[in-house]
Structure 1
């Protein structure tokens, strides 16, 4: 089975949790919807492309970034927030804009190993667009730059012997029910009902490197690295 294997590096990244408002909390790895959305954006897709994703990675440490967020009271506002901090100029008294401090959690020194499964022609087009891209890549927020260190098609096959995860990973909950993990309900794809996004969720466990995978709990690529796709959902 053909799969696109990607190795990425990010100096800093925030994969913000959907319901994190007063503090910008981050997932420890990019959720499936972030990787899927990045792939769709690269392909200029105007429809959902069936695919599965395996997400593994690690980071050096976690930082806290202090930011000022501007909140617009109305949709159409003539005012524009100009940052005057440190310039010795009296701050402007905005009439239609509020501001509030926000702490954002950042992962530092992020290494990612991603596998994307889709129809082979889709994977080849995605590989070509990554290799010929003329703009920088971002994964997570726009400012979370990503360097692609490896991008190639690989063959994946059944896991025949016990295999140890070399990196932290998202693993289907059914495979880690009786092992140490952090449970997450990750977004995958959405439909719009009455103007509101309704997400399909995927149940996973976030596990640390060193977890043993048994045959039937994953796949392996041609470099011997384990591949753990999420459970197949209705497309």
Structure 2
């Protein structure tokens, strides 16, 4: 298999929430950003106005978790303002205001590998991380990311001559190829299996209405992965490895 060029990016964030879409009262967070979140950041920094195909590898660590309060607004389309029910009157429409809780990761360090499908996108993305035109954010808009490193690396499939793992305290999203992998004690020669997630990567717009009354929804392409930490890759197994010697798990 030929050696491929990829963009290696290391980021740091102080407080961040990578929101799970099914959490409401407590805005829970994933341990690492979903692929769609990373791809969205890449598109925003590179100035892409349409979807550009790419594969992503996501690894990282965080120090701890905390809960934070935030102001939450609730409203229903067309509901009139009622003084005893709503806190805000918006031109006769009622809006409720209260507090809710968000789960935040503290002191997050991320290692990302980006593999664009089109060769012409490579330099555009690398330049966008090397010289960002605005502050990068990952997660919520206010979750600012500090770029520690952005560089080109070679990625190749190598047979491990000895056991290898992630950097200390790191975790990674490792793709699940089939249902049989779940039942095994090993996955791709890794010593353990972690928490399984079904994470969004990209989407297409579909019309579930009619031509005259369109109802456009996003149909997400989701990937089955394990979130794994403190594992070891077994010797004599094949892995994607970058030119700095780090394991890579493209999705």
* TM-score, normalised via structure 2 length: 0.80
SS at match of 2:48: coil
Q: Which runs of 5+ in 1 are unaligned?
A: 79-91, 231-235
1:62 aligns with 2:65: yes
The 5 A counterparts of 1:13-92 are 13-74=16-77
Q: How far apart, in 2, do the equivalents of 1:214 and 1:46 lie?
A: 43
How many residues are paired up? 217
Q: Deviations over 1:108-157 (max 9, x none)?
A: 00000000001332121111122222321100101101000000111011
Cα pair distance change 1:75/1:63, threshold 3 Å = farther
1:191 aligns with 2:190: no
2:105 aligned partner: 107
SS at match of 2:14: strand
2:176 to 162, 173, 195: 173
Q: Deviations over 1:163-206 (max 9, x none)?
A: 21222000012496333310000001112222111111100000
1:6 aligns with 2:9: yes
Cα pair distance change 1:52/1:74, threshold 3 Å = same
1:157 aligns with 2:156: yes
SS at match of 1:38: helix
Shift of 1:210: 2.8
Shift of 1:100: 3.0
Shift of 1:75: 7.2
SS at match of 2:10: strand
SS at match of 1:135: coil
Which ranges of 4 or more aligned residues in structure 1 deviate by more than 4 Å? 75-78, 213-217
SS at match of 2:88: coil
Q: Which runs of 5+ in 2 are unaligned?
A: 186-191, 209-215
Q: Quick check: 1:159–1:215 contact (8 Å CA) kept in 2?
A: no
SS at match of 1:35: helix
Q: Quick check: 2:87–2:97 contact (8 Å CA) kept in 1?
A: no
Shift of 1:77: 9.8
Q: Quick check: 2:18–2:140 contact (8 Å CA) kept in 1?
A: yes
